Amino acid sequence: MSDAARAAVDLADLLLKGNYAERVAEDRAAMPAALRDQVDAARDHAHAAFGENTVNPQPAMPSDFPEWVVLSVTTAWTGWIYGESRTCPHAPTPVMPQPVCAVAWMPNVITCLACTAMLSDITDEQARQCDGCGSSDSESLVGAKIVAGQLLFFLAVCETCRWDNPVLRKGTPA
């Protein structure tokens, strides 16, 4: 298991079992003010570009999501931070905060907002599969997005894998 994969599991555990709000406050307080401002601006830009989460209103807590969703997001995040992800030609980097996008079916690819078309490179089989269980019930698939700080994460879920969320339950696409 790579360092990024171990970090993704550890981060998911921390987010799901730790005192998330307190930890975020501590981490933000430890950040240099200029970096904190850049991270906040990137988060605000992500929200302005794509709106709020379709799966929870902000601020969503990691415990609002199934573990597989949290692990999917942390896998994309840590792969990028550890330099193991491919990026678009604009080469977004965590040290220069900006909104970035990832998708569940290509977790090791990160793009800037201008290059999200790279993420649509999906096979017909992938397009018909739930990102939670892998079932190919394409009739019940609903697209969803999660805004996790500066990361916009997109996924598709079937009826069985939709968690308790009115938007997803109604089958409204993201």
137 belongs to a structural domain: yes
pLDDT at 112 over 90: yes
Between 160 and 164, the more confident residue is: 160
Question: How many domains does the chain contain in total?
Answer: 1
162 belongs to a structural domain: yes
pLDDT tens, position by position, 138-152 = 677 888 888 888 888
pLDDT at 171 over 50: no
31 belongs to a structural domain: yes
Q: What is the pLDDT of residue 125?
A: 67
What is residue 34's three-state secondary structure?
helix
pLDDT at 126 over 60: yes
Range of the domain at 90: 3-169
Cα angle for residues 107, 126, 57 (degrees, 5° grid): 55
CB burial of residue 167 (10 Å; 0-12, 13-18, 19+):
middle
19 belongs to a structural domain: yes
Burial 38-48 (b: 16+ CB within 10 A, else e): bbeebbeebbe
pLDDT tens, position by position, 51-83 = 654 544 445 677 778 888 889 999 999 999 999
174 belongs to a structural domain: no
